[in-house]
Amino acid sequence: MKSMQKIAAIIGGTPLERFVLQALFSMAKPGKKEQQVSGPEWVNQRIHPDEHKGQLKLRSRLLGFEGAFAVPVSYWQVAPVGVRSSDLGKFLEWVDQHAEFELVTLGHSMLRGSLASRGDRKRIKQGKEFAYVGYKNATSKTLVPIEVWRKTPKGNFASSGWNGSVSELGPLTADASLLSLDQNLAQRSIHDVPFAVDAVYLWVDGSDPKWLAKKRKFSSEADSHGTSDSRFTSRNELYFSIATLLKNAPWMNRIWLVTDGQTPDLGDLADRVTVVDHKKFIPKEFLPTFNSHVITSHLHRIKGLAENFLYLNDDILFGRPLIPSAWFDSHGRCLIRYTRTTLPGFSVGDADVIHLARQHTVQTAISAGLQISMRSIQHGPHPMRKSTMEQMWNRFDDELTATSRNRFRTQADLVPEWLHNFLAYSTGDAVMGGKLTYSYIVLNAKSSLAKILNLALRRPPSVVCLNDVSEIAESDRASEQITEYRLTKIAALLLKA
């Protein structure tokens, strides 16, 4: 490991770096199969809420067969219809009798038709072939899997895969009330997150001439950090961030993109994103603003935003499949995470604007009797609640109004996500989250090459933050060409199937 760090230190930021990244990343194979839960392929799949609703409607039709039952799964999983192995033949014949249904096997290609007449029952019963039911000419996303539960020596029927609720069911002749209770177990599970979760991005195209002219008009009001170009630079990170989000969290309800009169080119992702302008939710008296603290403090005013949402920036990429319980528990409480990095003490002089604003937020929270942390929040998705933000404004209206008048960041700002966490934790609406694998990389620093190479050598973390920092030594600053190349190679790695 040390030798790799030495090599990375030598070639970081040089033309040779491109060849090393290309060679190493092309060989990387993230997402090993052995890290998946064993069982049918659908037990590891997470789907969008709209698709889930469609599956449940179709499954309710299939439950018209007397021996079929609803497999108890998480709200965000693919929802199969369960059939005891002793009833499989009758079930396939029953499906065949309904002209609106179609039996499908998904392998290298989608095969449609009557499985009952193709002699595949035995392979399906043995778990060697997976069958689905859908309406005629249905797409793969709307199909309902047939999960065959095999008979045990005791006469019960065991699940073919982990479903998060029960391992066995009794025979169809078992007590009807107990069979009904088995069906309802998942609805009361403390492990499930049975509500919608949205994602909210803040984004700006810092190269837009109109936006730049507006920024320059007001930039004399601010300090150097608040106006630094790196804070507004766009390299298409947004596309990569959303693409990795949809790949690893397809259950995400709505994705909101907050902009200042701009619309990014998102290509094939555009139909999954709702663009909302500052003017739609930030009071007119605070506009225009170039201060993320201002924008974030008003997010709860977005019309249609879910109660529970993730606030994130476009420098966040996702490297592993994730479920909502990574950020919220079944009661809707936020799971907040902090790093080991702490703020300097209040007696320390010459602290920068970022630290001073955070210190000011901590001091305000202490004065209000809230529990606080001097540790920095993990620079990733921030789980937040609209109701907590409303409470925040009720308790700190004057202070948040004062922050909202600052067009650029200042040391007198309140940092909304920090204050949100203090308030949520103090009122029992947040708890400390468990481990979530995470990597923070300064994308434009030559010295970051070792961390970047590590993404290919190990399984990528759940969250990768690719921050562009203006406050680094000139000798450590990578060229724009190298920085962009790093971004595209990392994104391609994380998007590998």
Average pLDDT (166-193) is 90
Peptide bond into 416 cis (omega under 30): no
Looking at residue 224, what is its pLDDT? 46
The single-letter DSSP state of residue 344 is P
Q: In the prediction, which pLDDT does 356 show?
A: 93
Angle between helices 386-395 and 397-404 (to 10 degrees): 100
Percentage, residues of the chain above pLDDT 90: 58
Residue 3 clears pLDDT 80, i.e. is over it: no
What is the average per-residue pLDDT within 186-195?
A: 86
What pLDDT digit, counting tens, does each position of 356-391 carry?
A: 999 999 999 999 999 999 999 998 999 999 999 999
Instruction: Tell me which of 20-34, 62-76, 479-493 is least confident.
Output: 20-34
| 380: nearest Cα among 440, 294, 320 | 440
| 8 A C-beta contact, residue 130 and residue 44 | no
pLDDT at 337: 96
For the stretch 230-274, pLDDT in tens is 445 567 899 999 999 999 999 999 999 999 999 999 999 999 999
The type of residue at 148 is V
- Boundaries of every domain in the chain: 41-188, 193-436
The answer to whether 370 touches 428, Cβ cutoff 8 Å, is: no
Write down the H helix ranges in 298-431. 353-367, 386-395, 397-404, 416-426
CA distance 358 to 352: 10
In the prediction, which pLDDT does 109 show? Answer: 47
Tokens of 451: 């961390």
Q: pTM to 2 decimals?
A: 0.90
Q: Where do we find the tokens 């934790």?
A: 425
Res. 408: pLDDT tops 90: yes
Cα 17 off chain centre by: 30
Q: Output the pLDDT for position 1.
A: 53
pLDDT digits (tens, 9 = 90+) for 194-230: 899 999 999 998 888 899 999 998 887 655 455 554 4
Residues in the chain: 497
pLDDT at residue 461 is higher than 50? yes
CATH 3.90.550 fits 193-436, yes or no: yes
Q: Which residues contact 97 (CB under 8 A, 6 or more apart)?
A: none
34 pLDDT more than 60: no
- Average pLDDT (438-452) is 91
Sequence letter at residue 89:
G
Residue-averaged pLDDT of the chain: 88
Q: Which helix (H) or strand (E) holds 118?
A: none
Longest CA span, the chain: 81
Q: Cβ of 30: how many Cβ atoms within 10 Å?
A: 16
The pLDDT, as a whole number, for residue 230 is 47
- Cα distances from 171 to residues 93, 123, 155, 168, 422, in angstroms, run 20, 22, 7, 10, 51
Confidence at residue 293, expressed as pLDDT on a 0 to 100 scale: 97
Walk across the sheet containing 273-277 and list its strands. 273-277, 255-259, 197-202, 308-313, 382-385
Of 84-88, 118-122, 223-227, 313-317, least confident by mean pLDDT is 223-227
